[in-house]
Amino acid sequence: MDRIVINPAILMGKPIIKARGFLFYLIIEFLANGLTEEEVLNEYPELNKADIKVALLLRFKMP
């Protein structure tokens, strides 16, 4: 899970994708609203499949 950063000084401690500054929960929202993984990657080329995978893993580990 070294791709996710939680730092109180960055976006009030919300988890982001390391080196991309992309809020991980946005990935979850996109997928939950029906976008496919490929659509998310096409819309946000700075992301990759590993970023999506780690966002999903983190979501399922969160309370």
Residue 14 makes CB contacts below 8 A (sequence gap 6+) with: 6, 23, 25
Domain count, the chain: 1
Note whether 19 and 4 are within 8 A (CB). no
Distances (CA, A) of 21 to 1, 3, 18, 34: 15, 11, 6, 23
pLDDT in tens, 4-60: 777 788 777 777 776 666 777 889 999 999 999 999 999 999 889 998 998 888 777
In a domain, 27, yes or no: no
In a domain, 51, yes or no: yes
In a domain, 11, yes or no: no
In a domain, 44, yes or no: yes
pTM of the full predicted structure? 0.71
